[in-house]
């Protein structure tokens, strides 16, 4: 699952693409707002940790615990979740949001379990202390703020493919709404 984590949510798109939904200016506005918020949170995470977060390997050289990583241990996954809920909202297939949430939770349970095992092996006590003070999912402001480097140009470059995926997703839902307003099923 870890190596394919970028592609695993893609099948979730089939349900809202093939099902009837009620798209309105509200679902579009809320969906886009969630997508922007989720992507902003993701990009802050990538800018903080560098593109090492985008790799599929176990090679990790430093424990990142500042920026959004001081707020929660999995800011990129939290961003992904908010983006996907935004996509589901935008689609107007609102009944699917709880299902997508459950699928996301199960998928990321295993991915995070693997990643945390790797980080515990590499960083030992340092990671366990970080884990004890930082929530896994629900961000909260850190007790003490400490800064670190931000790599915004690198983050923007690494997210180009993500932005292209958003463009494709929006085009697919736009075409569905225009040509199949009652769903494709």
How does pLDDT run across 20-54, given as a tens digit for each residue?
888 899 999 999 999 999 999 999 999 998 876 55
Instruction: Say which residue the tokens 């040509």 belong to.
Output: 179
DSSP-assigned letter for residue 73? S
Query: What's the confidence (pLDDT) of residue 70?
Result: 93
Q: Which helix (H) or strand (E) holds 174?
A: helix 160-179
The answer to the question of residue 1 being in a domain is no
The per-type count for the chain, helices as H runs and strands as E runs, is 8, 0
Q: CB of 76 within 8 A of CB of 42? A: yes
Structurally, how many domains does the chain consist of? Answer: 1
The answer to the question of residue 125 being in a domain is yes
The answer to the question of residue 66 being in a domain is yes
Average predicted confidence (pLDDT) for the chain:
86
The answer to the question of residue 149 being in a domain is yes
The answer to the question of residue 5 being in a domain is no
Q: Which helix (H) or strand (E) holds 91?
A: helix 75-91
Summarize pLDDT for 141-160 with one digit per residue, the tens.
987 766 777 888 888 888 88
Query: What's the confidence (pLDDT) of residue 125?
Result: 96
The answer to the question of residue 144 being in a domain is yes
Cα angle, residue 92 at apex, residues 86 and 96 outer, rounded to 5° = 75
| Residue of 16, 64, 54 lying closest to 162 (CA atoms) | 54
The answer to the question of residue 185 being in a domain is no
Query: What's the confidence (pLDDT) of residue 54?
Result: 55
Summarize pLDDT for 168-178 with one digit per residue, the tens.
989 998 888 88
CATH of the domain at 92: 1.20.120.1630
Is a pLDDT exceeding 80 seen at residue 106? Answer: yes
Cβ neighbours, 10 Å, residue 22: 11
The answer to the question of residue 162 being in a domain is yes
Query: What's the confidence (pLDDT) of residue 10?
Result: 72
Query: What's the confidence (pLDDT) of residue 153?
Result: 86
| Residue of 170, 38, 5 lying closest to 104 (CA atoms) | 5
What domain range is 75 assigned to? 10-179
Higher pLDDT, 12 or 80: 80
């Amino acid at each position: 699952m870890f190596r394919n984590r970028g592609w695993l949510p893609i099948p979730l798109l089939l349900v809202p693409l093939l099902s009837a939904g009620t798209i309105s200016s509200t679902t579009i506005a809320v969906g886009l707002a969630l997508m922007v918020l989720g992507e902003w949170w993701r990009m802050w995470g990538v800018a903080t940790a560098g593109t090492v977060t985008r790799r599929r390997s176990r090679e990790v050289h430093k424990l990142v615990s500042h920026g959004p990583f001081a707020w929660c241990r999995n800011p990129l996954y939290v961003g992904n979740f908010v983006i996907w809920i935004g996509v589901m909202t935008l689609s107007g297939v609102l009944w699917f949001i709880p299902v997508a949430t459950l699928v996301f939770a199960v998928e990321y349970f295993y991915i995070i379990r693997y990643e945390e095992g790797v980080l515990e092996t590499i960083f030992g006590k340092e990671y366990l202390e970080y884990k004890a003070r930082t929530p896994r999912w629900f961000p909260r402001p850190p007790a003490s703020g400490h800064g670190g480097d931000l790599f915004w140009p690198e983050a923007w470059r690494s997210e180009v493919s993500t932005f292209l995926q958003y463009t494709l997703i929006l085009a697919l839902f736009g075409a569905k709404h225009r040509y199949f307003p009652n769903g494709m099923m």
